[in-house]
């Protein structure tokens, strides 16, 4: 039995055989963890050998796994593949997604993927050579920002603000600051200068952050995350 559940009102189906998905769908999103790719693809092979497998578009969100690796794993160098790097804020309509089309992807494939992904935020095409770096900035970035929000709240708690209030204020401050950068078009350094009164509280706090190496630590995080994705890209997946 392949068809386990049908949510008729949503038009969604659940299968226990990935091959059945490939048979029935024109666009197949591959969304497993990179080390599970071989397993996920394994029972698609028979379907991929069917007369017209090129009628399918494969969209991968796997960190690090290259278009070439995907084509190899799919067993077809002519497979239509688009590599995507989404992020979790898509769940609230504020995603930052990039994609790189493989050599066999068509204009229509690109339009399809853009139409699906831009529903939940911004969606831009980038060269594949940039996708690991962008993945570290915007794909992993939410985790880095959550850590900053948590630290802001912890600082507030340390200075006596109740926990729930501190978290609410830290969250709104990050949201508002991001909106200022986006909507004013000013450079973040200019916006920061506008908050720093001479001899004031903010520049005193900025000094503490610089002394703590916050800027270098965040740059390092993007660098090591990108290198990690590059490593995944040279691993053999099957
Ligand atoms: N998390 C993030 O913010 C981002 C993740 N990514 C990429 O997305 C991918 C998934 O990550 P994430 O969503 O965090 O991981 P999860 O573990 O949450 O999701 C993986 C999913 O794959 C399913 N799965 C496992 N094995 C198979 C199989 N053989 N056939 C079909 N489905 C299978 C799992 O189902 P079950 O639970 O039933 O086992 C699960 O639903 C990764 O490759 C990651 O690099 C990209 C950008 C951002
Ligand atoms: O941590 C990961 O590997 C994935 C890729 C981007 C976000 N999460």
Ligand 2 mean position, distance from CA 57 (Å): 23
Domain-located, residue 136: no
Find out whether the beta carbon of 86 lies less than 6 Å from any atom of ligand 1.
yes
Q: What is the pLDDT of residues 184-205, one digit of tens each?
A: 999 999 999 999 999 999 999 9
State which of 101, 126, 151 marks the end of a domain: 126
**How would residue 13 be classed by pLDDT, with cut points 50, 70 and 90?**
confident
Q: Which domain holds residue 192?
A: 141-228
Q: Can you give the pTM of this predicted structure? A: 0.91
Partner residues linked to 85 by β-bridges: 98
- The CA distance from 56 to 48, in Å, is 9
Q: What is the pLDDT of residues 142-197, one digit of tens each?
A: 999 999 999 999 999 999 999 999 999 999 999 999 999 999 999 999 999 999 99
Residue 84: which of 102, 69, 104 has the closest Cα? 102
Specify whether 9 is located in the same domain as 109.
yes
Q: Residue 104 has which token pair? A: 């066999």
Specify whether 16 is located in the same domain as 95.
yes
Specify whether 122 is located in the same domain as 17.
yes
**How would residue 129 be classed by pLDDT, with cut points 50, 70 and 90?**
very high
Domain-located, residue 191: yes
Query: What CATH number has the domain bearing residue 100?
Result: 3.40.50.720
- ipTM score here? 0.95
Find out whether the beta carbon of 39 lies less than 6 Å from any atom of ligand 1.
yes
Query: What CATH number has the domain bearing residue 151?
Result: 1.10.3730.10
**How would residue 233 be classed by pLDDT, with cut points 50, 70 and 90?**
confident
Instruction: Report the residue among 37, 60, 61, 63 best suited for mutation to probe ligand 2: largest number of ligand atoms under 8 A from its CB.
Output: 63
Find out whether the beta carbon of 140 lies less than 6 Å from any atom of ligand 1.
no
Measured from the CA of 42, which atom of ligand 1 is nearest? 29
Residue 131: which of 81, 89, 75 has the closest Cα? 81
Domain-located, residue 168: yes
Q: Percent of the chain scored above 70 by pLDDT?
A: 91
Specify whether 102 is located in the same domain as 152.
no
Residue 93 has pLDDT above 90, yes or no: yes
Find out whether the beta carbon of 146 lies less than 6 Å from any atom of ligand 1.
no
| Pocket residues: Cβ below 6 A from ligand 2 | 63, 135, 139-140
């Amino acid at each position: 039995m392949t068809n386990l559940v049908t949510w008729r009102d949503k038009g969604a189906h659940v299968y226990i055989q990935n091959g059945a998905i490939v048979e029935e769908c024109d666009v197949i999103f591959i969304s497993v963890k990179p080390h599970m790719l071989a397993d996920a693809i394994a029972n698609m092979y028979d379907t991929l050998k069917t007369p017209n497998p090129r009628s399918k578009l494969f969209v991968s969100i796997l960190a690090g796994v290259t278009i070439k690796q995907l084509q190899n794993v799919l067993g077809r160098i002519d497979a239509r593949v688009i590599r995507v790097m989404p992020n979790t804020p898509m769940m609230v309509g504020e995603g930052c997604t990039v994609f790189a089309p493989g050599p066999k992807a068509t204009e229509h494939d690109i339009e399809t993927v853009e139409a699906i992904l831009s529903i939940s935020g911004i969606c831009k095409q980038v060269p594949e050579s940039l996708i690991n770096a962008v993945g570290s900035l915007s794909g992993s970035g939410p985790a880095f920002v959550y850590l900053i929000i948590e630290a802001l709240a912890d600082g507030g708690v340390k200075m006596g603000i109740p926990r729930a209030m501190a978290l609410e204020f830290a969250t709104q401050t990050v949201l508002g600051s991001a909106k200022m950068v986006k909507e004013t078009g000013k450079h973040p350094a200019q916006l920061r200068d506008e908050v720093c009164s001479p001899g004031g509280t903010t520049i005193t706090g900025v000094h503490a952050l610089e002394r703590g190496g916050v800027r270098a630590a965040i740059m390092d995080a993007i660098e090591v995350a990108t290198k990690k994705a590059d490593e995944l890209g040279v691993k053999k997946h099957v």
